[in-house]
Amino acid sequence: MANLGKTAPFIMFDGNSFRDLNKNGRLDTYEDVRRSIDDRVDNLVSQMNVEEKAGLMFITMILINEDGSPVERPTPANPFSFMVSTNSNMIAGRLMNHFNILQSFSPSIIASWHNQVQEMAERTRLGIPITIASDPRHSFTKNPAAMVAAGNFSQWCDPLGLAAIRDPDFVVTFSDIARQEYLAIGIRLALHPMADLATEPRWARINGTFGEDAGLSAVLTEAYITGFQGDELGKNSVACMTKHFSGAGPQKDGWDAHFEYGAEQIYPGNNFNYHIIPFTAAIDAKTAQMMPYYGIPVGITGEDVGFAFNKEIITNMLRNRYGFDGVVCSDWSIISDKKMMGKVVLPSTGWGVPGLTAKEKMIKALDAGIDQFGGENIPELLVELVNDGKISEQRLDVSVRRLLRDKFRLGLFDNPYVDADSAKNIVGQSEFVKLGHLSQRRSIVLLKNLIIDNDNFLPLSGRPKIYIENINNIVANNYCQVVSTPEAADYAILRLAAPWQPPSNDANMLESFFHQGDLDFKGEEKERLLKVAETVPTIIDIYLDRPAVIPQITQRCAGLLANFGASDEAVLDIIFGQFLPEGKLPFELPSSMIAVENQLEDVPYDSENPLFPYGFGLTYEDN
């Protein structure tokens, strides 16, 4: 076990550690603390060589062995292992000290691994501590390219569900709990929230947003950051990297910018500024970091290049107009192709600069205002650029200071270690789990409740015979008698997910993780669902990671619920009246695919004659 609390000599200030300065009463105000941190940053930068500076400016995935030991040989079982090197190669060899963990092991295992890699970093020349980052890991979504399975963490509804609840205080509660669970295992940087707006209903990443309304998204984004960071970034904070400036929602035809066919963001409604509103709220909440997306904001600036290469967006707008002086990190892999056995598996996502080499992309991104390269572990290229006179060391210093400042503010230089033994008592503790369950129930939206004999169909009562699909039989038996066919049932309950189009056979490995394309059920599956609803009074519960197009299903069913990540128990509690529905739609549900195709990518709630408008949601008192 590491010696908790040991402090490296280079972080001394006038002979005293930062903690001693506070204890001696020499730092009485935030301004004093900031000046002290700036002095410490300057002192450290003056001791760093080019290799150490370059290593600081890269963040990529890092792997953990199942026993909690550092990964020191390739692990083909992990789908992203080809993108990274061994732990020691990146930490001691390439002098990197920012990493994103994708795996979901027990809290004690992750915490133990975290302390071991911090010890590894401490043995480097300057002992710069590691900042561990994570994508969201508290919800139901299982897209390894965007979110991590909850595992031992408390499991909450998706961000869309928080938007359906519409309670900023509850969002602060969520993010404060997530902060505590992150801290317990050493995660100090949240690669979230997503402040993007879901104005294009086909976009694959809507479930990570707070919906399509800029005002609601702004309020919830600010609340989210407050719960993670507090009023100021400090030793008990988890820094937030808000994304994706200046708004990644208006993807042309909804195709995602992870892929070249989705490279264009368009603004047919001239509504670019609407998408910035949540990001200004993030700046007001003092978000530590920002991330731009891959897309090209077509026609918005003088040069149609991806956001990370766009100086008008990063420097002129984010830095100068909005005054953001935190870290700006590119989204993953904008510089280099990812290869396996010499074959390109994932092409670079640096759209809009097709003729540039990896080094030329680095130069352009740094000139645009990028501080750190996401999903890359090639600091040696940056060192070569400095040695060749293509990038000045002073330019590196600008970004290095921002990155070090966050490490100091987070207290990593004073004590980067965690208590691995207590992690299991914090992560997933019963009160956190209960509140996660509450979020699932509060976020469910009642969309239809058929009136029969002047009474609402829902909630159900007694122990009726019910035909179920996609519900655990053991769970369902606590509420009803489960039967095997619709014909034998009093009612049917079908749990569905919003439709999407599977990628083609020649798609790259990431495409299977993204739900894209049309939003309606088709062919045999739609007919099968309608037949069940004709046979027996049917309750449909549909998981909406995107706004599904379900007019015929809505017409035929007796009850319709929408969820944004909810367990079987949560849904059945609503259906049987053990919890009253209160959620409101965070986006509209279109009435047809034609309406979807005719709406404008950058404009909220603008489809013609929506099936359910933005903000719709019934209660059991409605009739």
State the DSSP string of 220-253: HHHHHHHHHH-SS--TT--EEEEEEET----BGG
Cβ contact 96:53 at 8 Å: no
Q: How far is CA 472 from CA 468, 478, 491, 492, in A?
A: 9, 10, 16, 14
- CB contact set of 594 (below 8 Å; sequence gap of 6+): none
Choice among 196, 331, 371, 606 that is catalytic: 331
Residue whose pair of structure tokens reads 């992150």 in the numeric block? 182
Chunked mean pLDDT (size 10), the chain, 623 residues: 30 29 42 77 97 98 92 69 81 97 92 97 97 92 61 93 98 97 97 98 97 98 98 96 96 95 97 98 98 97 97 98 97 86 79 95 98 96 98 98 98 96 94 97 98 90 97 97 97 97 76 90 96 97 98 98 97 98 98 98 97 98 75
Which residues are CB-contacts of 242 (< 8 A; sequence separation ≥ 6)? 192, 193, 194, 195, 221, 225, 279, 282, 287, 289, 290, 291
At 346 the pLDDT is 80
> Does residue 169 carry a catalytic annotation?
no
H helix or E strand, kind and range, residue 264: strand 264-265
Q: What is the DSSP string of 498-538?
A: ---PPPPTT--TTGGGS--S--B--HHHHHHHHHHHHHS-E
Q: Is 14 left (phi over 0), alpha (psi -120 to 50) or beta?
A: left
Number of helical H runs and strand E runs in the chain: 20, 20
Report CA 199 to chain centroid distance, whole Å: 18
Question: What SS3 class is residue 327?
Answer: strand
Q: pLDDT value at position 526? A: 96
Predicted pLDDT at 104? 86
Beta strands 559-563 and 445-449: pairing type? antiparallel
pLDDT at position 74, please?
Answer: 67
How far is it, in rounded angstroms, from Cα 585 to Cα 581?
12
Helix, strand or coil, per DSSP, at residue 416: coil
The pLDDT value given to residue 359: 97
Residue 492, C-beta contacts closer than 8 angstroms, at least 6 positions apart: 466, 467, 468, 469, 486, 532, 533, 535, 536, 537, 538, 539
Is-cis flag, bond preceding 112, omega within 30?
no
How many other C-beta atoms are found inside a 10 Å radius of the C-beta of residue 244?
23
Query: At 101, is the secondary structure helix, strand, or coil?
Result: strand
18, burial (CB in 10 Å: exposed 0-12, middle 13-18, buried 19+): buried
pLDDT at 7: 30
Tell me the angle at which helices 214-229 and 168-185 cross, rounded to the nearest 10 degrees.
40
Q: Specify which residues 538 forms β-bridges with.
A: 492
| Residue 338 β-bridge partners | 346
Q: What is the distance between the alpha carbons of residues 108 and 34, in angstroms, rounded to a whole number?
A: 34
| Architecture of the CATH domain 444-598 | 3-Layer(aba) Sandwich (3.40)
Cα–Cα distance for residue pair 511/519, rounded to 1 Å: 17
588 vs 164, 365, 375, 591, CA distance in Å?
12, 37, 34, 9
**Which residues are paired to 240 by β-bridges?**
190
245 forms bridges with which residues in the sheet?
292
In degrees rounded to 5, what are phi and psi of residue 440?
-60, -45
CA pair distance 311, 267, nearest whole angstrom: 19
Per-residue pLDDT, 453: 82
- Closest to 210 measured CA to CA, from 182, 181, 170: 170
Q: Could you tell me which residues are beta bridge partners of residue 64?
A: 70
Q: Are 203 and 247 in contact (CB under 8 A)?
A: no
